[in-house]
Structure formats: structure tokens, C-alpha cells
Amino acid sequence: MSIRLIAKDLYRVMHAIESLEEQIAKAPFQKRHALEAELRKLRAEYTDLRRALDGAKG
């Protein structure tokens, strides 16, 4: 995967994380568990993409 595609995916995930964090802050307690699970997945994806980007640059 090219650096440009990794960077675009990283940017997309960063914005998705920000949006989801805002949703969690406003969500009722019953829905937070599902949203937090999705947030964990996005953060793991972010970490993977960040490592891939760092590896591609180095």
C-alpha cells in the first residue's frame, strides 16, 4: 500500500475517532457500551495504520 493511501486512511480514522468520542459524550448510558467497543476497534486500526506509515517512511 502506498504512503498516500495509508495517510488517507489514517486521516479518515482520526476523524471517525473524534466523531465517535463526541457521540459517546452525548449518548445515554445504555448505548455507550456499543459505542466504546467501536471506539476500541477504531483506535486499534489507527495504531496499525500509524505503524504502517512509520514503517513505510523509515
CA 24 to chain centre: 14
- In a 3-state reduction of DSSP, which class is residue 1? coil
The DSSP line for 18-34 is HHHHHHHHHS-HHHHHH
pLDDT tens-place string over residues 3-43 = 999 999 999 999 999 999 999 999 999 999 999 999 999 99
pLDDT at 2: 87
